[in-house]
Each structure stands twice: as structure tokens, then as C-alpha cells.
Structure 1
């Protein structure tokens, strides 16, 4: 189909429309011819049935008496009727299949075997004008008073029906050709007129030198159609490009407000992440108020979660606060994280692998707030990347006196934009979340490093966090 690509759209569309009309016309013609054939078949079958039934009533007693002359006379008088002229030949045989009389005695002699005449004959229900031959052969039983007393073989001339069918086909072809030609020309002219705005848009985009120009209002179609919306959208884009220079000039003045917006987004993002687990804990307390151990466990989770939210807000909004309250990371923090991501794990039917070294976590002496933020952000991103029935894992272990977190997941590899947020320090591109960039900033403030690998269909993020100096001195 490479030859079709260079053809202009104003020609492609009429060609496609003409092809569709040819297809529709062909299907419609087939339906008309099929309906005509059904009507002709029904008519010829009804005529043959009336012929056979009439002969059966008239010839029954004569065939029983083997009255050859009366049988012949009856056949001759039947052949003189109006529709009887369609019967080219009619022969009557007794119950042994021996011919008693025929409208053409020379062709079908008396006492000959009727099977020689009815070699290609069909039953009454199988009679159809199939176009293979202008003469149809019919073989039917001759019944009298409820029993078969002989056989009737008839040849019917259907040449007029075939001529009628050929004329119908010719008229259909001529009518379709004229209609397709007229509609194709009309469609070509109409589509060319409708595509004028697109042509104008293409000209404005290809012939512009330097600053882009808007499409004049006189060339925009009236109303609110798709092409009018396209032209207005292009003009809006041109206006947006013109305004970009002004926006870039004012960008420095608005830097403080942008930073404030990022801070607010980060704060909302980090507060929203654990809320699902905390609300789950409150539902658990309401559901099991008579089980003290469940209430106590949920209350502890609420306490730690709320303290985490407090740490997040303080770490985000008040980095330089004097004598901040810092809680050291413990194994319970990872249990909280596991509970907080459990709704997402259950929703996606994930296979969760969890390995935390309590001794390494306790000995690290690392503040709990930043680590919880890092682990929760990465695990939520891993759940989203793994998708339905995927696998997600976390390993927390000691390494070089500090703590190492390994978060793994199956599914698609991280896109370039996400890697730039996690591993780079450049400006954020529009769109996407702030969680990955916040992970990088938190790890960098703790003098940590972040690594990324994708092997065998699995993504692995490694965050290495060194122990604070106070913790190292205590270990020594």
C-alpha cells in the first residue's frame, strides 16, 4: 500500500468513499438478485405443484385402467393451457415406471423406461432456477386416493426467468455505476471544499518563516465544527508560542511561588500516601472494639503514622527548626509501611516479598521519618509498575555500617522521565509526580546514594544510607 500514501487526502477520501459505495452496491445487488431468485423459485415450484396435482386428479383413474389414449388426450389438452406452454415435455408412467403416454411420443415412446428421461430430474421441493440450464427436469409421484399409482416426468422452460434475471443484473450494474460515478464526483468536490481549512493550516505551518502566523478569521469555517475547532486550536497554539517569551521573562520573578507550589505538592503527596492505611486502622478499631489487642495494635499504628505525618510536615516545612524531635528508625516502622501498602497490594493481587533485618535496622541509628518516606514512595511506585498480579519486594539489611534498602518489582521498566526524577538533579519536566524527586532529595540530604538496575524483566532500586556519626561512635 506504499503507492497509496503519497496520494493527497482530498483524493484518498473520495476513492475510499467510492470503494465503500462499490462494496455496498455489490452487497445490495446480491441481495436483490437473491430475492429475485427466491421469488422465481417459489413461482416455478408453485406452478409445477399445480401442474402435478392437476394431472394427478385427472389421470389417476386413467392410469389405473392403463387407458393410454385418454392419458395422452388429457396431457395434450393440459399442454394447450396458458402456463402449460412452459411445460416443454410431460410423460406419465405407471407404478412400474413404464411410460403410458407423453406429449412428445417420438422422444418418449410408449412402454419405454421413464428413468431414461428423468436422469437429471429433481423432486418438487428441489426445483430451482439456478441458471445452469434453461430447461428444468422434474420427477414427481402420481397419487390417486392417497396412494402412488404412477410417475410424472416434466421438463419446464425457464429461459424467460433467466432472461429476467440477466436484465435485473444489467440494470443493477448500470445503476450502481452511474450512482457511484455521480456520488464520487460530488464527494470529491464536497471533500475538497471541506478540506480547505486543513489546506490553509498546512500552508501556514509549512510556509511560515520565523514567527508563526495565525489563520485569518475569514478562512476559519463558520460554526463550531471539528475543522473550525482545529483552526482555533492552531491560533491558540500560535498565541501560546507568542506568550512563551513573555512567560520565560517573568519566570525568574515567579520562582519563589513555583518553589512554594512544589513544597505544597510534596507535602500533600507525602501526607496522602499513608492516609489509606491510617483510615484502615480506624475502621479496624470500629469493627473490633471488643478485642483489646487489635485496638492496641491499631492505636500504635495510628500513633506511629501520625508521628510520621508530623515528621513529614516538619521535615518539609521547617528544615532548619532548632532542636527538632527526631525518632530513630526501628523494625516497627517497616511493619507500619507494610500495613500502609497492604490495601494497594490486595487491590492489585500482588505477590509481596518482605525481608527486614531487625538488628541492622535498630543499629543503623537513622531517623525514621525520611526512611519511611523513601520506602513508602518507592514501594507505591513499585506496586503501580508491577500491575495486576505482579511481584513486589523489599529487603532492608546492613551494609558498611549503614542501612541498604532494595525495592524490586516486575512489570515495565521505568520510563526515562521517571529515571531523571530519581537519579538526576535537572529541572522537572511537566507532568508526573513529585515522589521520586523527593526520594532523591531525602537520600542526598542523608549522604545516601541511589542505584537502578533492570534485569530479567525486574526493576531494582537500591538506596544506601550511611549511619549518622553518633550511631557510629556508639557502635565503636
Structure 2
């Protein structure tokens, strides 16, 4: 029995509603049939009483003059109705004298003349006792096992000679009863055919939002709450207020989750900040010494062009390291020269060893013809990080493409590579510290790139195309400090 109560409301509400409708229909039908049966019986009793009184008036003179045959003809007359007559005919009629002896009967075999009624058998002894207890002018109704008895006094002008008993079989009004019952049953079936689909529709319509709400509440326990659409239940009753309360709860949980994520992200950034500060302290001192040594080396003079070119590239690389440390410290401004075409040539040279190692071709397409007002070291770091990631993610013999476009005061950098795609679980945390999809990656390269782009007031996005991974950086080409 319990499992019926454990059913979903989607089924329980329509089923219980249907059960109540069926029970109500059966109860109404039963009451209607009982009333119909009682009305038919009452009609039969009234009809029999009217017949008995009419016959009693006619049989009174015959009994008074002791004319048995005349009395027999009188009570026999109702049994001689023509075929097709709708009048309900009695089964037996008896005329009793005052001592309850049979004066005449329509069926002498059942009720012989002069026999005491109580000796006939069946229901007659009970009827005899009921007549003895009744008043002389009362009409007596008696319901036996198989028959219905109606007794009226045979009297005139206050003189009573006996009793006329009209006997009907109980089956005599059953055809009429079953006819009425069939009409009632058909009406009940029509009502059920109308109400049950309506109940099922409205039950599921009302239970559907409850089921959806329960499913949504289950999702809260799984950590993925979602607010049900307002169209699910647009009404303002108790269920509607429950939906509103659920929506408020979900929004509160979502705000809480966002706050927790921000706190975690802030703690990570604080940890990176402390790490960066330590790294910067350990690097800046020897780095400054190397830059001073290179400057002294250039001042001595007498060096060939190839040596000076190599020394200049080393100096730019050390400056880039210094500025990268500054980016890790999330400095608002980093002093640097403007970015120019020579920086792209340096990048190709710096990436050549890694490209040869991976057997990858690097193609940089640029429309730069002169310097642009952006910090060279920061933009070099952005390009270096993106191109290194593209090379390391590419398959052997693949090509890494990079485009640099300067137009309308904006620098747009795009890198394209085929090969291993970025995992879905990494994609949503791609620019966070320590988030990496590479086995030996530190997870800091893209984070540093994101920090630099943010400092420069730009945007960086990553996209997974059909067979290509694309990084797109958009930077406003403002004045470099």
C-alpha cells in the first residue's frame, strides 16, 4: 500500500482524483438506483392499494349476499387484461372474511375456500399477524421473501366484512427497474468519460510544476542549481509563492558560489603575488648587474657588427625578463620602448630552436611598417607566450600561424595552431594561475599574458574551432610610457 503513496505526484494526483470520481459516481449511481427501486415499489403499492379499494367496493355486496361466484368474477377481472396492456397485474387476489378465512381466491389451488390464511404457508402467517395488529380501516403493506402484499379493508358505511389482499411477485417491477438502472448507468459512464480525462489533464498540469520543482531542488544538492523558467507556473497561489522562494534561494546560492570563487581566486592571486615578489627580489639584482655589464661591453667599442647584433638581442631579452617580472608583480605601468618590426624578427630568432625541436613551422604575418605606441617588452612577452604554447600543442610537421594587424588605433594579434585541443575542464579556467593542460606546464604563461593584456586595457580570448585553436588579443595602441 505504501508504494501507492510513494508514487510521483505526476501520477498520484490524477490516480487519486480518478479514484474519488469513480467512487463518487458509484455512490451516486447506487443511491439513484436505490431511490428508483423504492419509487417503483411505492408506485406498485399505491397502484395495488387503489386497485384493492376499487375491488373491495365491488366485492362488498357479493360477500354480503354470500355470492362466492360473483365475488370470484369480480376479483378475477384484473387478471383478464388484454395483451400489450402496460398495467402491472397482480399474481393472486384473495378476499378474506373477518376471521381471516379465504372467502374466494383467484388461485384456489394455492388458497382453497374457507382455509385460514395463516395455514396457507409462506409469507401468509406473518401477514395474518400484521393484519390482526392493524386497525380495521388501515391499508397494510407487507414485504415478503418473494412477494409484495397489499391488504385493504372490505367495508362500506362503517361495516367491515373482511379484507382484500393483492399479491404481487417482486419480479413484476424488475424490468422497469433495470430499464431505469441502465439509463442511470449510461449517464454515469458518460459523466466518467467526461470527468476522468479532465481530471487526468488537470492533475498532471498541477503536478507537473511540483515534479519540476522537486527535480530542481535535487539539482541543488548536486551543486548545479538552476532557476525554473517563470512560465512553468505563472500563478500567484501557494505553489507560485513556493517557486518564488525557490528562485530566491537559488539566486542566494549562486551569489554565495560566486563570492566563494572570487575569494578563492583572490587567495590564489595573493599567493602568486607573494611568490612573484620573492622571485623579483632574487632576479632583479643579478639581472641589473648583467644589463650594466652589457652596457659597459658596448661602450668599449671595437666590436664587429655581428657581435653587436647578438649583444643587442641579449640586452632586449634581459629587458624582457625584467619587464616580465614587473608584469608578475601586476604593475600598472612598465617603462619600455615602443614595439616595432624588429621585435617580430627577434621573436622568430628566439622561437627557432623550439620550432626545430618540435619540427613545426612558424609563420608571422604582419602589416607593421613602423613602431607602434605599445610597450615592446610586454607585447613581445604576449607573443612569446602564445606562440610557445601553439608550438608545443602542435603536431609534428604542422604550421603555427600568427597575424599582427595595426589599424584604427588598435593592435590585433591572432595565433592559430592545429593539434591537441584544450580540454574542456581547462577551458573555463584557462587564464587562472596554475591552470594548464600540459603535463609539464606551470600554468603561469597564460596567466601572465592575461595580466599584461589587462594592464594594457585589452582583451584576450581563446576559441576551439573544428580542428584549430585560436587565441585573439585586441589591444588599444595608446602611448607607451
TM-score (norm 2): 0.45
* Higher gyration radius (CA): 2
Q: TM-score, normalised by structure 1?
A: 0.45
